[in-house]
Structure 1
Amino acid sequence: MLTSQRKQLLLKILDEEGQIVARTLSESLGLSEDTIRRDLRELAKEGLLRRVHGGALPASPAQANFAVRTTISTDAKPAIARAAAALIEPGQVVFIDGGTTAVQLARALPRELRATVVTHSPSIAVELVEHPNVEVIMIGGRLFKHSIVACGAQALEAIGQIRTDVFFMGVCSLDPEAGITTGDYDEACVKRAISAAARSTVVLASPEKLGTAAPFAIAPLATINRIVVSAQTDEALLAPYRAMGIAVTLG
């Protein structure tokens, strides 16, 4: 089998099964595990998949730029946002992450809600201007344009001074084995710091992010309390999270 044919076959298997386990696949195809791993490395360099220990996962489409991401899961994201908004209690101090699903969450907040929202996203702050009873605290720093959020030392210092009730985390990728990952190292550090300073962390996971992986780890799944996903999500995808004791809210 030619190299190009092997790669096309690997991508087809990844699309159909959602993951590749190098050892298992080498046995079923009668190819050496080294050959499979080499092909996976080359495909990862092309951005066609994401290498993980023992195999590969689909590359997350959430690594596209902000404008492109607004066109993905346009029905699921508002539904996820409404379900997440219902989790906020009056008087709470909540941190809302940046990203397209988080913007939908800000839009879904009831106009009469009394709460404090901390955010490092200008997009979130602007959405809350017309909420008269929501106090908005902005975190500043270097603007990371991919997600339109503040990053860097200044942001981390400010985040460390605030204890929130809930952190609504936007993610690039979520997988039971790879954990919570994103495409930028600094953004991963900031998300990790926000989560550490929150009493609970809720992950907003639109369908294209499940079962995918990105280069930089944010935190182990054990550190999150809940995920909010589309009501149309296959239960088989959710079962591993439930087994870990993570609450699942359907939107």
Structure 2
Amino acid sequence: QTMAWIMDTYSMHARHTVTAVVTGKPIDLGGSRGRREATGRGLLFVINEAVKRFNMSAASTRVVVQGSGNVGGIAALLLHEAGYKVVAISDVHGGIYNAKGIDVPAALKYLKSTRSFEDYPEAGAVSNADLLELDCDVLVPAATENQITSHNAKRLKCKVLAEGANGPTTANADKILYEKGIFVIPDILANAGGVTVSYFEWVQDRMGYFWREDVVNERLQDTMVASFNDLCRYADAHSVDTRTAAYMLAIDRVAYDTRMRGIYA
């Protein structure tokens, strides 16, 4: 509703409705279907590609998710629905762990009703700090920044680190992760599903034509998978870590377009 208010206020000054001025609006006021789940769904798509890279299947892949909000909770739910074994999940107070896998819908329902994972009967308790160091295949820090540092990076046991949060890994930890051979899907890509569907919302507002949710999800998947593959090719070609590759590739693209446009004086 806040975004609707911003759109309405701008429109009053413009003297006509300008739905494309902001994104994240209610669907009836120019919002996009699939926007709420987009960040978590984008995470699912890039994790799918990373798992293929390691020749693993969803059923055999153990996932740990730090965070259970709009990113972590939705990502955990979608991963569970896709057949992944989510073995741990947390909120701000702490988390739960079950090596056999967690019934994510039931756990999130419990969290919603009690506002905590404390005393959840189907899993043991684990702190947010210890959760990061659990034995798993995919680790998804989707809570807050600076969770993976030079102090705990050496103890991580995951094969893939998918950054659902913004800046969950410090610069000093990056080098350690690279040396350990942990495949990092950097936040600039991993959590880009939300802003991608915000872009789709802007496109739909400009067109005045709105897509079905399955169309939004399909186009999001196309975008995330293509970006993941571009990143991997660039990192391999330049023998750099994936975060460095992401920024190098972005700068290369901007530089190329700038050169092609020329200079107007």
Fold-level match, TM-score > 0.5?
no
- Structure with bigger helix share is 2
TM-score (norm 2): 0.37
- Structure with bigger strand share is 1
Higher relative contact order (CA 8 A, sep 6+): 2
TM-score (norm 1): 0.38
